[in-house]
Every structure is written in structure tokens, then in C-alpha cells.
Chain A
Amino acid sequence: MPLEIYLDLLSQPCRSVYIFAKKNNIPFEFKKILLFKGEQYGEEFGKVNYFRKVPVIKDGDFTLSESIAILTYLAEKYGTPDHWYPADLQTRARVDEYLSWQHSGMRGIAGKILWLKLMIPKAFGIDVPKEKMDSAMEDLEEALTAFEEKFLQDKPFIAGQKISLADLVAIVEIMQPLGVGVNVFEVRPKLRAWKDRVRAEIGPALFDEAHQMIFNVEEVAKSTDPSAKEIFKPKIKKLFL
């Protein structure tokens, strides 16, 4: 039985897993979960992942959640090229360092922009106070600056000369605000150059295909399932407002 990967490409961690699997020709069944239809709350999916989140993989009897764990599992199991998760101790530590920091340092911060600017008003009809938006944009600027100054510096990629899981996980998060017209690369040439390098390494076709969803966000927002809306609303309010 082939690997099953449960994904919604609107989700950043799903994109990193998708890109990694495709780039490395890892055979898998794409199990689509439409988050805005509330499919993650269904009975079926609850049996797959207790947390009702994506991505999740099923490798025979073995089920695994958390994109970071999935990526390193796939790298190991399929013997992908060394640069993705280098054997060299210190180079690997640089990758691990980013993969750890990004949970609270980048992911929530970059992800929030799409929610506050589009999803919350369009899908839920809730007004977002200006100060919340301003605060979120401030946090984003800080995160991108930390990314450039601490993680990227003057190197072509986070771990050094070659692309790794760190760049992959970083790019899918940093791309998210573009879905609502926040062009994070506009005034950051170093960041833009890094993005171009990452896109080239992944392959422009695969990169663009994986990111297509975020440019259709408005459509997705408008067609949010009413029952899903009910489940989301309190969570959204708690998380973002």
C-alpha cells in the first residue's frame, strides 16, 4: 500500500510536505482534505488524525502528524539527497535550529496576515480592528528581519551553500501573505534573491503549482461551508482577535 498524504494546499505545512514528496519522486496518494469545507472535522478524518490537522501521513499502519516530523521521516526513509537534511552534525544543527524557531518565530506570524486581511472578514464577516492588523504587520516585519539577520545572513541558503528542509519550510510560510497582496519581497532584495534561488532549486513549475491555492483564497473564503464556519468562529476569535 502506497504512502497516503492528507493535504490541503492552502496550508503552509502541507505545501512543504507536498513539494518535498514531489521533488524527490516519492510515490504517494494525495488525499485531499478541504479545510474550508470542514472535512477535518469529519468522522473519517478523526480516525486518521486525533488532532484534526493537516498534513498527516499514513505509511501502512504508521500514522504521523506534524510537517517537521513528516519531512525528516521521509528524508530518512527514502534516502533523499544529503543537502535536504545533512549528515554533517553542524550543518544539520543549523537546519534543526530553523525548524525549531520557526514554529513561534515565523509560522503563526506570517500565517496571521491572510486570516486578518481576508479570511476573517470575508469568510466570517467579522471586522478586524486596525490595531490588530497593524500589530500583526509589525510582528511580520520583525520576523522577516530576524530571518534575514540571523538565519539567512550572507549565505545563499539557511544551512549554507545548498537548499535544505529549512528553506523549504521557510518559503511556504513566507509566501502566505502574498495571497492577500502583502508582497514581503518588495522592499527586501536579499529575501527576494533567496526566494528566487529556492524557487529555482525546487523547480518553478512545482513551486508555482504548489502555491497556486493561496492566490485563490478569496474564492475559498466565499465558499466556506456554513457548518465549518460555526466550528471555526470561536476558534478564530480566540486565536486572532
Chain B
Amino acid sequence: MPLELFLDLYSQPCRSVYIFAKINEIPFEFRKVDLASGEQYGEEFGKISVLRKVPVMRDGDFVLTESVAILQYMVEMFSTPDHWYPADVQKRARVNEYLSWQHTAMRSHAAKVFWFRCLVPIITGAEVPKEKMDSALEDLSSTLNMFENKFLRDQHFITGDQISLADLVAITEMMQPVGAGLDIFKDRPRLSAWRDRVKQELGVAAFHEAHEVIMNAASLPQEMESKGMLEFIKPRIEKLFN
């Protein structure tokens, strides 16, 4: 039985797993988990993962959560080209350094801006207060500066000349606010150049296919509303962003 990947392409970590599997021609079955309808909270999905998050990978009896762990597993299991997760100790450490830092930096700040722009207004019925929005945008901007100055610097990719898991995970997170209509690459030539290189390496078609859903994120609020998710998610959102 081939690998099963439980995914919703609205989700950044799902996109990195999806793109990685596709471009490395890893055979898998796409199991859609519809986040907009709250499928992750249902009984079925609860049996797959008690943490009720995506992505999840199932390889026979072996179930694995956390996109970073899934990517590391696939690299090893399918012997993907070395540049994704180099065998060289120091190069691999650089990839791990980014993959570690990004959880509470890029991921968290980029996601927040997406939620504030795209979902919180419709869930709470009010625009996000200006100072909260400004603060979130400031954090994102700071994080992007750190990315450019510390991780990218004047290199082509995070580890140097070749793309790795670090770039893949980074780009999928950065695309989230883009889906909410915020062009984070504007006025950032170095970042834009890196984005273009990453797109080339991943394959422009694969990149666009994976990001089609998030680029139509404007319709997500209505989708959630029609599926009865807004009331359900309201208390969670209030806790998360206060």
C-alpha cells in the first residue's frame, strides 16, 4: 500500500509535504482533510491523529505527524537527492537550524497576518484593531528581515548553492500572507529573487498547483460560513490571538 498523506492545501506545512512528494515522484494517496468544514475535529480523523492537525503521513501501520518530521522521513525512505537534506554535518545543521527557528518565527508571524487579514474579521464580525494589525505586520517584517540577513544573506539558497528543505518550508509559509492579498515580496528584491529561484527549482507548474487553493483564500471565509465552521472556531480564535 502506498503512502497516505492527509492534507489540506490551505495549510502551509501540508504544501511543503505535498510539493516534496510530487517533485520527488514519491507515490502517495492524497487524503483530503477539509479544514474549512472542521473535518479535523471529526471522529474519523481523530482516530488517525489525536492532535487533530494536518499534515499526517501513514505508511502502513506507521502514522507520523509534524511536517518537518514527515519531510525528514521521506528524504531517508525514498533516498531523495542529497541537497534536500545534505549528509554533510554542517550543511545539514544549517537546514536544521532554519527548520527549528521557523516554528515560532516565520510560521507563527506569517500565519497570524493571514488570519488577521483573511479570517478573524469574518469570524469576530469586526476588523482587527489597528494596533494589533500593525504589531503583527511589524513582527512579520522583522522576521523577513532576519530571514534575509541571517539565513539567506547573499547566497542563492539557505544552505548555499542548492535548494533544501529549509527553502521549501520557508516559501510555503511566506505564501500564506500572499494568499491574504499581502505582497510580502514587494520592495524586497533579494527575497523576490530567492522566491523566483525556489519556484524554478520546484518547477513553476508544481508550485502554482500547490498554491492554487491559498491564492483563492478570499473565498475561504464564505466557505467556512456555509459549512458552519465560524461559530465553532470563534472561541479558539479569540484565545489564539489575544
> Which residues in A have some Cβ–Cβ distance to B below 8 Å?
50-51, 62, 64-70, 72-73, 76-77, 89-90, 92-93, 96-97, 99-101, 103-104, 107-108, 135, 146, 149-150, 238
Residues of A within 8 A of B239 (CB): 135
B window 27-57: CB within 8 A of A: 50-51
Beta-carbon contact of A69 and B69 below 8 Å: no
Residues of A within 8 A of B77 (CB): 89
A–B complex contacts, Cβ < 8 Å, 11 sampled? A64-B97, A72-B92, A93-B69, A96-B73, A97-B65, A99-B100, A100-B66, A101-B66, A103-B104, A108-B104, A149-B50
Number of interface residues of B (CB under 8 A): 31
Beta-carbon contact of B65 and A69 below 8 Å: no
Beta-carbon contact of B104 and A104 below 8 Å: yes
Beta-carbon contact of A73 and B89 below 8 Å: yes
From A66, A90, A135, give the contact of B100 (CB < 8 A). Answer: A66
Residue in chain B with minimal CB distance to A72: B96
A-B interface, 9 closest residue pairs, ranked by CB to CB distance from nearest = A103-B103, A69-B96, A96-B69, A100-B66, A66-B100, A69-B97, A97-B69, A68-B100, A100-B68
- Cβ-based interface call for B72 (8 A): yes
CB B37 to nearest CB in A, in angstroms, measures 24
B window 148-166: CB within 8 A of A: 149-150
Complex: how many Å from CA A18 to CA B99?
21
- Cβ-based interface call for B101 (8 A): yes
Residues of A within 8 A of B76 (CB): 89, 92
Q: Is chain B's binding surface mostly helix, strand, loop or mixed?
A: helix
Assuming the A-B contacts A100-B68, A150-B50, are A89 and B96 also in contact, with contact meaning beta carbons closer than 8 angstroms in the complex?
Answer: no
Residues of B within 8 A of A101 (CB): 51, 65-66
Complex: how many Å from CA A33 to CA B104?
22
Beta-carbon contact of A65 and B101 below 8 Å: yes
Beta-carbon contact of A96 and B108 below 8 Å: no
B window 182-207: CB within 8 A of A: none
CB B83 to nearest CB in A, in angstroms, measures 18
CB B155 to nearest CB in A, in angstroms, measures 15
CB B33 to nearest CB in A, in angstroms, measures 17
- Cβ-based interface call for B93 (8 A): yes
CB B6 to nearest CB in A, in angstroms, measures 15
Residues of A within 8 A of B62 (CB): 90, 93
CB B28 to nearest CB in A, in angstroms, measures 16
Assuming the A-B contacts A89-B77, A97-B64, are A150 and B103 also in contact, with contact meaning beta carbons closer than 8 angstroms in the complex?
Answer: no
Beta-carbon contact of B93 and A73 below 8 Å: yes
Residues of B within 8 A of A238 (CB): 135
Complex: how many Å from CA A134 to CA B146?
33
Beta-carbon contact of B100 and A103 below 8 Å: yes
From B66, B96, B149, give the contact of A73 (CB < 8 A). Answer: B96
Residue in chain A with minimal CB distance to B103: A103
Complex: how many Å from CA A66 to CA B92?
13
Residues of B within 8 A of A66 (CB): 96-97, 100-101
Interface code B121-164, partner A: CB below 8 Å = 1, 0 otherwise?
00000000000000100000000001001100000000000000
Beta-carbon contact of B64 and A93 below 8 Å: yes
Beta-carbon contact of A97 and B150 below 8 Å: no
Residue in chain B with minimal CB distance to A131: B242
Extra contacts besides A62-B90, A93-B69 (20): CB < 8 Å: A50-B146, A65-B101, A66-B96, A69-B99, A72-B93, A73-B93, A73-B96, A89-B76, A90-B62, A90-B73, A93-B62, A93-B64, A97-B64, A97-B69, A100-B67, A101-B51, A101-B66, A104-B108, A108-B104, A150-B51
Q: Which of B50, B51, B67, B93 has the most CB of A within 10 A?
A: B93
Beta-carbon contact of B73 and A89 below 8 Å: yes
Residue in chain A with minimal CB distance to B104: A103
From B93, B103, B146, give the contact of A100 (CB < 8 A). Answer: B103
Residue in chain B with minimal CB distance to A149: B50
Residue in chain A with minimal CB distance to B105: A51
Residues of A within 8 A of B104 (CB): 103-104, 107-108
Complex: how many Å from CA A99 to CA B108?
17
Complex: how many Å from CA A181 to CA B26?
50
Residues of B within 8 A of A51 (CB): 101, 146, 150
Residue in chain A with minimal CB distance to B57: A93
Residues of B within 8 A of A77 (CB): 89
